[in-house]
Each structure stands twice: as structure tokens, then as C-alpha cells.
Structure 1
Amino acid sequence: MPMKMISPVSFRELILVAAILSRMQIQSILYSQTYIQVTTDRSGDMQPSWSPDGIHLAFASSRDDPLHDQIYIYSIQDNLIRKLPIRGYEYLSLCNPSWSPSGEKIAFNSPGHISVVSDEGGTPEQLTQTNAKSICPSWSPDGNQLVFASRPSLEDFNSDIYIIPAIGGNHTLVYGSNGWETYPCWSPNGKMIAFSSGSPTTPTYIYSLDLASHEIKRITRSNDLNLTEEEPAWSPNGQWIVFTKTTWENDESGNQKNHNSNLYLVSTTDGMEYPLTHTLREGKSFYYREPSWSPDGNSIVFTSAPVFVSGDIWILTDFWTYTKIKETSTVSRNDLRLEQNYPNPFNPETVIPYQIPESGHLNIEIFNMMGQRIRTLVNEKKQAGSYNVIWDGCNDFGETVSNGIYMYRMTSGGFTKKMKAAFLK
């Protein structure tokens, strides 16, 4: 029986009403966004996936057995969590649940294999039959295939991207290199696959693969060697990808450790990035990972917790207003404008929007409160249009600035405009 899709308005109301009437916590804590906490017991809830009807969340958790992750279903309407009974897999760790487009099946990976089970549970069907370690399944929009990542062993760093029929059979290599390709996900039109790729000697970024031409295109633009970009998820309209961006730092022994993870949006047309979350919350350092879109494209479910603490499931909504995302191809008003940065305060990045009515040379510079120029963001000729520039909180030498208020100034011809931004570590 086809699943009834919930309209964007009623779907958002459903989330908020369920949150108000249940133990969910609504926290409008950052820049007018709304954060809704779905699970609260810090029992290792992770990898949430939204059902196509928008009223259920599947996620992995060790809440009943600290040694083995199992699949759970959360009902937004009823505020109930049930364990998905998967026969024969009770003492195995099951990860990365993914709803089929029909909502009738859930794909997941058990140790080394991709399997599919009914959304009511039961005996699963194991699709992959090789000795390779297969992870991160994602359905094609028509429900006929699954894309997944696979590597020779858990100890082997290299992994490649494969496709397998949803009814099982031979799997087909669609992309492989000498690096780690993982977290594949299908575009809504079924023509492309997004994934993350990196290696021990190169950073991990987000790429797309055109299944017809086999063209590989890098989607994200950062050149920071201390960044890891992964866990991409296409928006339902295909215009955006939400992903996790993690910055790394070394500990006293010189070993890498997780510094922070945040969610970002990147446009699939022009590559512009927009930060969605902020690492600091309630005076603590939090991570945000494993995003999944609601079917109406107005909310994102993800995992979050203080760094190095077991996670809970959260929902982020109202972010389209927060990000102020808009068309940038034309200038709607015949003037030159410098707008307030967002988020503000910020860490680690902020977006500065500006608009110019005609082509000309443009400068955008950052100054400290002593009037010293510390960073030049733009110094070039620009065509008429609306733009965004990102400041990463660093000076011209790549050093992170201190906490405080900074002024950013735009100069073009005889026009000068100044605004203030606050950086908080």
C-alpha cells in the first residue's frame, strides 16, 4: 500500500506537536534554528534514517546491549521506540539502517555484509556474499538497487563503491581508487552518487559520480589539510547536499584527535557552502554527525553529543531562514550592499553576504578592534551579482584569531561599508 506523504506545513507541525506532548526537548539555542532532541539517554544512538512517509526514524543503538548495536524504530506520532526484531542477528552489531523508497524495507550492514529486512522485522535477506567488508547501504530512488562501500577487510584502509540489485545477485564496481571511498548516497533523480573520498596522505572531501558518463566531480571546495568531509546526503530536490565537516588537531603525543564536527550545506550547482551547526553549545564542545533529510526537505535528523560521549538523536529545523540561502544570479535591488554575517557569533566559519550592482574592483577585509588589518577575503574584479564569502576565523597567516569582536569592511569605488562579527572559541 503506498505511503501517504505529509505536506511540508503539516509535517513540521507534526514534529513540533509531538515534541511538545512528549519527552522531546525543543531548544531554540542557536541563531533562530530549532533543535529538537529525540532521544535523551546517551545510550549510543546513532546513524538515523528518515522514513519516506516522514513519521518514523530508524537508527542504530547499543541501548539494550553495550556490546552489540541493533536497529530501532522511533515513531514521531506516538513518541515510541521499538527494537526491530531481526531473527538470527540478535548478537551481532547492526549499523547504517536505510529505508527503501517504498518504506517497506530497511537495508543495513551487519559485520561484513549488506542485508535487507522488512520494516516490521523478521528474517533478513543477506545480499552480499563475498568475504569483503561491506558498509553504508543506500537505496536507488526506484528501489531496485543499493549502493554501498566495500573493503577487503576491516583492517584495510582502501574501499570502493559498488552497486547491487535489491533482490541480490552480483555486485558491480562503479568507482575505486587507492583511497577510502565511503558513505555513498544516490541523488534523487538516480543519475548520480555522492560519496566521500580520501587517503592516509590526502584529505577526505565530498565528490559526485555521474553514472552515465562516469565523470568524477569534487563538490566541496575546501583545501584545508586538517579537514575531513564525509557523510553526504542529498536533499529531496537534489539542489543541496548536507555533510559532516570535521576539523582535526594533534594531541601532546602528536596523534590526531577529533576536534569538532559540524553539519554544512553545499549547493550542487555553484559549490557554495553554508554552516548549519556550531560546535559550542551550552558551554560544551559538541559534535554533529550522520545527517539525514526529512522527505519534505525542511528538517534534518542527525546524531549529536558532547565530544567523546555516546550520542543522541536530534532534529534540526528552521535552518532555511537561518542560512538566508537565496538565488545569487541576479541583483534584486540596484545598490551595493554588505550584509550581516551569519552565524554570529561564530566558530569555526561564518558567511558574509554582499551585493554589487555593476562590475568593478572589490575589497573585503577583516580588522581587529585596534584597526589592524588581519585578513583579506576578497581583492579582485567582480561582475554584478549577489555573493557570499566565507571567513574561517583565521588571519592571513592561517592562524586562528582570538575571541572577540572584529570588523569586516567592503570597499568598491567610492563606497565603504563596515559591519561587526563576533568570534567565539
Structure 2
Amino acid sequence: MRFSILFLLLFSIELAAQKPDGTLPVELVYFQGYFADGKVILFWGTATEVNNYGFEVERGNRQQAVGNNAWEKVGFVFGSGNSNSPKSYYYEDSTDLQQAIYHYRLKQIDNDGAFKYSDSIEISTITKLEREPQPLFNFSLEQNFPNPFNPTTVISWQLAVGSSVTLKVFDVLGSEVATLVDEEQPSGNYSIVFDSTNNPQLTTNSLPSGVYLYQLRAGNFVETKKLVITK
């Protein structure tokens, strides 16, 4: 499955300071998004959660994203309540998307109704043909993010020219554990979400914690990087 990524914004946010009773807040460690195949893909992760009912996903476009009246709710994802371990979340938005630049944010809601907003991220749904000419691409493989991760991470790469592309994951002994991409791709930027659990691309049901290598081959270009799974 191929994703043509246009924007990928990565950052770490803490939704709230420590509560007066000493408990930990809902700590958002990443919030990411990109546009692919007519949908905006959003995913985020928390380090800890206390009293977390869930997350409303809100959207606004660049011209409107000033003030609370500019935001609309497009979805909801249930939280994990109370948790001291990392949790990952995922949402797809395909509702009434136009050729535009959108802003997305999360409204984290407690079980008692209290809520806080994350910072917003900006994602373009303008297709490549409608954008201004871009500079020539290079061959490159980016470091996955987040890293370490559990259970999902994003791997991105760039192709200078159209190539026969494979993207594979290996354990430290050199045994292949997943084939993420095996296809012809034109020049451009690409990204894929790698799920280390319940993934049909894996050679096993789930990958244990540890160090792994991921390798991109595109024509004569070969590059390998390291990723770490924590549980």
C-alpha cells in the first residue's frame, strides 16, 4: 500500500501540567498527520493517562482557524481511562474534504467533562498537480518517528526518479520480519505507518521489544536505519 505524503508535522505536546492531587495528566507525546488517497490520516500517542474519556477530533481550514467558532468536530476516539503505559490512537478523516490547507487539533475530555486542547497541526489536501512546481527530489530514507515506539511508527522516504522499491524490516540477526513496500514508484515523497502488532505484512503475529533494522532499496540506492520497539 502506497502513501504519497504531502505534509507530516511532528512534535511533542503535554496537554496539562501535573494535577493538584499529584496525579499525572494526559500526556500527549506526539500528534501527526498526512494526506493520502483522498483521506487525512491522523495518529497520536500518550505516555500516561488519568481519567481520560477520549479525544474529539476538530478541523478548520487555514482561513478559518482563528477562534473557537472556526473549529468543527469531525470525529471522536475513546481514551484508555487510566494508564501508566504508552497508548496509540488513529483516525481517518474523509468528510467533505476540499482542495485546501486544513488545521487539526484534539480536544481531550476527562470523564468528569473537563477538557483541554492540543496544539494544532496543518495538513494540505492540495494534489501535486495543483501545487507550484517543486524542486527535484533526492534519494533518501528518513529516521522513523516516533522512535522508540509502541506499536506504530512512521517511515518516510524520497525518490529522485521512478524506481522499483522495496522497504523491509529485519531483526538484528538479518532475518526478514516484514515487507512494507514492494512495487514500482514514481519520483516523490512517500510515507507509511508501520504497525508492529497484528499486521498482515509481518511474518509473525507481533514483534517483541527490541532493536530492528529497516532497509530501503530503490534501483541502485540502498539505505538502512535502526528502529526500536518498546512494550
TM-score normalised over the length of structure 1: 0.33
Alignment partner, residue 174 of structure 2:
371
Distance 2:53 2:228 in 1: 21
Identity over aligned pairs, percent = 21
2:118 alignment partner, one of 316, 323, 347: 316
Instruction: Look up the SS of the partner of 1:292 in the other structure.
Output: strand
TM-score normalised over the length of structure 2: 0.57
1:318 to partner: Cα distance: 5.8
- Say if 2:58 and 2:105, in contact at 8 Å, map to a contact too: yes
Give the structure with higher Rg (CA): 1
- Say if 1:298 and 1:318, in contact at 8 Å, map to a contact too: yes
Alignment partner, residue 190 of structure 1:
none
Cα 1:344/1:319, change in 2 over 3 Å: farther
Cα 1:372/1:284, change in 2 over 3 Å: farther
1:302 alignment partner, one of 107, 112, 121: 107
What whole-Å deviation, never above 9, does each CA across 1:336-368 have from its counterpart, x for those lacking one? Answer: 111111222222221111111111200100111
Alignment partner, residue 229 of structure 2:
423
Q: Which amino acid aligns with 1:400?
A: S
Instruction: Look up the SS of the partner of 2:166 in the other structure.
Output: strand
- Cα RMSD between the aligned structures? 3.9
Distance 1:405 1:286 in 2: 31
If asked which structure has higher relative contact order (CA below 8 Å, sep 6+), I would say: 2
1:35 to partner: Cα distance: 2.6
Q: Structure 1 residue 413 and structure 2 residue 219: aligned?
A: yes
1:304 to partner: Cα distance: 5.2
1:291 alignment partner, one of 57, 67, 75: 57
Instruction: Look up the SS of the partner of 2:151 in the other structure.
Output: coil
Distance 1:286 1:398 in 2: 32
Q: Which amino acid aligns with 2:224?
A: K
Instruction: Look up the SS of the partner of 1:34 in the other structure.
Output: coil
1:396 to partner: Cα distance: 1.9
2:13 alignment partner, one of 34, 47, 53: 34
Alignment partner, residue 357 of structure 1:
160
Q: Structure 1 residue 399 and structure 2 residue 205: aligned?
A: yes
Cα 1:264/1:335, change in 2 over 3 Å: closer
- Say if 2:213 and 2:227, in contact at 8 Å, map to a contact too: yes
- Say if 1:39 and 1:312, in contact at 8 Å, map to a contact too: no
- Say if 1:301 and 1:313, in contact at 8 Å, map to a contact too: no
Instruction: Look up the SS of the partner of 1:378 in the other structure.
Output: strand
Q: Name stretches of at least 5 consecutive residues in structure 2 with no aligned partner.
A: 1-9, 22-29, 67-101
Cα 1:386/1:34, change in 2 over 3 Å: same
Q: Which amino acid aligns with 1:313?
A: F
Cα 1:369/1:415, change in 2 over 3 Å: same
Q: Which amino acid aligns with 2:55?
A: R
Instruction: Look up the SS of the partner of 2:174 in the other structure.
Output: coil
Q: Name stretches of at least 5 consecutive residues in structure 1 with no aligned partner.
A: 1-30, 43-261
Distance 2:36 2:182 in 1: 26
Alignment partner, residue 271 of structure 1:
39
Distance 2:51 2:207 in 1: 18
Q: Which amino acid aligns with 1:278?
A: G
- Say if 2:32 and 2:121, in contact at 8 Å, map to a contact too: no
